[in-house]
């Protein structure tokens, strides 16, 4: 390519790591991801857990080799702060939908606290029509936009903690720590039903995923306001996604053969299942799985940039 068009061609870098991004309201998770990817000039990027456009908060973005391990964060527990508007319901269960109903709100603090306590533990949720779950290869929200209601099976999720932060007339602010697959919109609607006045989720902010917290996240504005070197310094290593797995250090020979896709003997250590692997220089190699023969089989390995 020659001429003026050449100057617009983005230079891609083999940068790897995990960016803790504070997603703003008003854009999709994919739009936020693409903005971060451009700022890092990254060749490859992906996020670990979608946030609706109206929602804000923690969106871990994986760059380069870290994308190989992003699925392990998808299964992690999450924490949200939600603003629940009582007395109204909407077509989507959030502020982006049309108002379906209005009801008077005549509830007190004790009643709100009692209702919230019912939702702690294992609960059953019916996924909302306005969700990315697929039926026959088509997202449910596409059916919903066409006015088609699709039957959905209830799913069990776990609410580990549900705290009332504030109750002020028609607004209830809650903090929820929950398992993967939990819909806070559905939780808000179910709280409204239990209170007898209806409700929808007015605002949502994700504050934690696994061991990651919103206090360590950066905004797009912060990223845009610093140099590329400073942005790189904000990246966490790829193995930060795998802190819940035991680690195994391999000697130089074992690391060499593992890197060529071969099983290697497990060092004398009591571990089982999926493990994080490091070489004798403490470089993260990827993940492996302990076999019944006392070996480690490579599962996903890091590709180091050529020097």
Please report, for the chain, how many H helices and E strands are present, in that order. Answer: 8, 18
Catalytic-role residue among 52, 94, 190, 239: 52
DSSP 223: H
Which helix H or strand E contains 276, and what residues bound it?
Answer: strand 274-278
Question: For this structure, is 52 an active site residue?
Answer: yes
Compute the residue count for the chain.
307
Residue whose C-alpha is closest to residue 203's, from 57, 48, 40, 76: 57
- Answer yes or no: are the C-beta atoms of 31 and 180 closer than 8 Å: no
For residues 199 and 190, what is the distance between their CA atoms, to the nearest angstrom? 8
For residues 181 and 127, what is the distance between their CA atoms, to the nearest angstrom? 9
- Answer yes or no: are the C-beta atoms of 167 and 178 closer than 8 Å: no
For residues 180 and 217, what is the distance between their CA atoms, to the nearest angstrom? 21
For residues 223 and 242, what is the distance between their CA atoms, to the nearest angstrom? 25
DSSP 65: G
Residue whose C-alpha is closest to residue 50's, from 67, 80, 36, 30: 30
- Residues with a catalytic annotation lie at 52
């Amino acid at each position: 390519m020659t001429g003026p068009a050449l100057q617009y061609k983005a230079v891609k870098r083999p940068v790897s790591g995990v960016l803790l991004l504070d997603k703003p309201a008003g854009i999709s998770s994919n739009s936020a991801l693409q903005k971060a990817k451009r700022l890092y000039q990254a060749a490859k990027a992906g996020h670990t857990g979608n946030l609706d456009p109206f929602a804000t908060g923690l969106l871990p973005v994986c760059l380069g080799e870290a994308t190989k391990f992003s699925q392990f964060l998808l299964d992690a527990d999450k924490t949200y702060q939600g603003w629940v508007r009582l007395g109204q319901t909407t077509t989507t269960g959030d502020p982006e939908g049309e108002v379906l109903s209005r009801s008077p709100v005549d509830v007190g603090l004790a009643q709100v606290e009692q209702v919230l306590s019912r939702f702690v533990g294992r609960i059953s949720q019916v996924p909302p029509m306005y969700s990315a779950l697929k039926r026959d290869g088509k997202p449910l929200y596409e059916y919903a936009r066409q006015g088609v209601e699709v039957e959905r099976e209830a799913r069990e999720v776990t609410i580990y903690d549900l705290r009332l932060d504030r109750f002020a007339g028609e607004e209830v602010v809650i903090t929820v720590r929950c398992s993967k697959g939990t819909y806070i919109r559905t939780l808000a609607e179910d709280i409204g039903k239990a209170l007898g006045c209806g409700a929808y989720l007015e605002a949502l902010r994700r504050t934690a995923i696994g061991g990651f917290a919103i206090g360590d996240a950066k905004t797009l504005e912060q990223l845009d306001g610093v140099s590329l070197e400073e942005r790189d310094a904000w990246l966490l290593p790829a193995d930060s996604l795998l802190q819940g797995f035991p680690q195994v250090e391999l000697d130089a020979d074992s690391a060499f053969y593992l890197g060529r896709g071969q099983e290697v003997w497990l060092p004398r250590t009591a571990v089982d299942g999926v493990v994080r692997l490091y070489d004798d220089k403490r470089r993260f190699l990827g993940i492996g799985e302990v076999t019944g023969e006392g070996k480690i089989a490579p599962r996903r390995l890091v590709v180091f940039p050529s020097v």
